[in-house]
Amino acid sequence: MEDREIIDLYWERNEKAIRETMKKYGALCHGIAQNILASREDAAECVNDVWLKAWDSMPPQRPNSLRAWLCQVVRNVALNRWKKEHAMKRYDETKQMCSMEQMAEELQECVPSPDDTERALDAKELSAYLSQWLRDLPQADRILFMRRYWYGEQVKDLAKERGESPAGVAMRLMRLRTKLKESLEEEGYRL
């Protein structure tokens, strides 16, 4: 079923909308939540929250891209849940560092500090700059960067899919982060 048809079902308040959304985007949404939360149970609860949010949001919202809208919603719901769990110290500190912590650590050196961002440019300008930076990358690098830092995919999984070693993919990501850092510094961001 096409996205436009699914969105129309939401607007008609037809429960088939949720079934069709689950059928078409369930695996994608679960994958994003799993990558962030590192727990199947938490990811399943998160995705269920996304279906409820979709039902409650349409109408009045009518997304241009249902896929992009769902990806953003599931990412936000999963990140909020992750923050809540970590703020409440309800996670097992003996576990290996989760994917979310690894991604944050990797990006720490090439993302402007909040104070500098507020002084230099507002968040919309930074967002526009980052979008342009991504568009200027070769397609393979852009896809790799987004899959790692937006969708939260593991380096080992990206390497396997690309037929490369995890060390090679990690090195490619490090070079991309370095390029991003240099680019932001050229624009006047203090990192």
| 3-state helix/strand/coil string of the chain | CCHHHHHHHHHCCCCHHHHHHHHHHHHHHHHHHHHHHCCHHHHHHHHHHHHHHHHHHCCCCCCCCHHHHHHHHHHHHHHHHHHHHHHCCCCCCCCCCCHHHHHHHHHHHHCCCHHHHHHHCCHHHHHHHHHHHHHHCCHHHHHHHHHHHCCCCCHHHHHHHHCCCHHHHHHHHHHHHHHHHHHHHHCCCCC
User: Which band of pLDDT confidence, cut at 50, 70 and 90, is reported for residue 79?
Assistant: confident
Q: What is each CA distance from 125 to 10, 58, 182, in whole angstroms?
A: 33, 29, 17
- pLDDT value, residue 129: 83
Q: pTM for the complete prediction?
A: 0.64
Portion of the chain with pLDDT greater than 90, in percent: 51
Mean pLDDT, all residues of the chain: 83
Rounded mean pLDDT of 9-13?
Answer: 95
Residue with the bigger pLDDT between 176 and 117: it is 176
- 60: preceding bond cis by omega (within 30 degrees): yes
Q: For residue 92, what are its two tokens?
A: 């097992």
- pLDDT value, residue 173: 93
Assess whether pLDDT exceeds 60 at residue 9: yes
Q: What distance lies between CA 120 and its chain's CA centroid?
A: 25
User: Which band of pLDDT confidence, cut at 50, 70 and 90, is reported for residue 101?
Assistant: low
Which residues are CB-contacts of 51 (< 8 A; sequence separation ≥ 6)?
A: 18, 21, 22
Assess whether pLDDT exceeds 60 at residue 120: no
- pLDDT value, residue 80: 87
Assess whether pLDDT exceeds 90 at residue 96: no
